[in-house]
Amino acid sequence: MREICAEIEADRETLRQTMETQGFESLVLADPAGRIVLATDEPVAIEVLTALRSRGVRIALDDFGTGYSSLSYLNQFPVDIVKIDRTFVANLGRDSVSEIIVTAVVQLAHALHMSVIAEGIETTEQHHTVTGLGCDSSQGFYFAPPMPGNNVETLLQTGAGVGGPRLPRTEHKPDDRT
């Protein structure tokens, strides 16, 4: 069996209901962050992800470019978001190959009507670089450390204070994927 890693944007109840109605409860392991690992055969994984997507869950391919996040997954699985692994972001400005890879991933994902998130943003320069290369969103310690969901809601309502987290100012692009 292979593991297929995806990150989902949905609450646990939606995930539980979808898995229950599709009969796939035992195939999904979910951690508190909403990340799922499907340890099953590809046809079953495709069926599970397609069922989740039909319920409005957006599927993200996490740590793209490393480990199990293979280029072939973009063709095999119903993916909405590609998350570029932090190792490529960390080398931006120091390694021209990383910039070429990030640019290629962004162009490929956009051509497939997928959004792109750059992981591991830690500096202003990295944020400006990935935004300039076309990434739709960014995440990392530059903006804020990991925090519970209720803290994120508070942060978004009150805004970032002086010396506090930085909220990204990238524009949201509508998803035109069919």
Q: pLDDT tens digits, residue range 32-45?
A: 444 555 555 677 77
- Indicate whether 154 and 84 sit together in one domain: yes
More confident residue, 70 or 62: 62
**What rounded mean pLDDT belongs to the chain?**
74
| 47 among known catalytic residues | no
| Crossing angle of helices 12-22 and 42-54, rounded to 10° | 120
Q: Is residue 174 part of a domain?
A: no
What is the band of 1 on the pLDDT scale with cuts at 50, 70, 90?
A: very low
Token duo for residue 72: 């072939």
How many separate domains does the chain show? Answer: 2
Contacts of 89 (CB under 8 A, 6+ apart): 98, 102, 118, 119, 120, 121, 126, 130, 140
The active-site residue, picked from 9, 99, 119, 122, is: 119
Task: List pLDDT tens digits, range 124-169.
Answer: 999 999 999 999 999 998 888 887 777 777 777 776 554 555 655 5
Q: Is residue 29 part of a domain?
A: yes
Q: Is the pLDDT of residue 28 over 80?
A: no
The rounded distance, in Å, linking the Cα atoms of 34 and 47 is 19
Q: Is residue 15 part of a domain?
A: yes
Is the full-model pTM beyond 0.75?
no
Q: Is the pLDDT of residue 10 over 80?
A: no
- Indicate whether 91 and 141 sit together in one domain: yes
Residue 2, domain CATH: 3.30.1370
- Indicate whether 2 and 50 sit together in one domain: yes
* Domain coverage including residue 148: 80-158
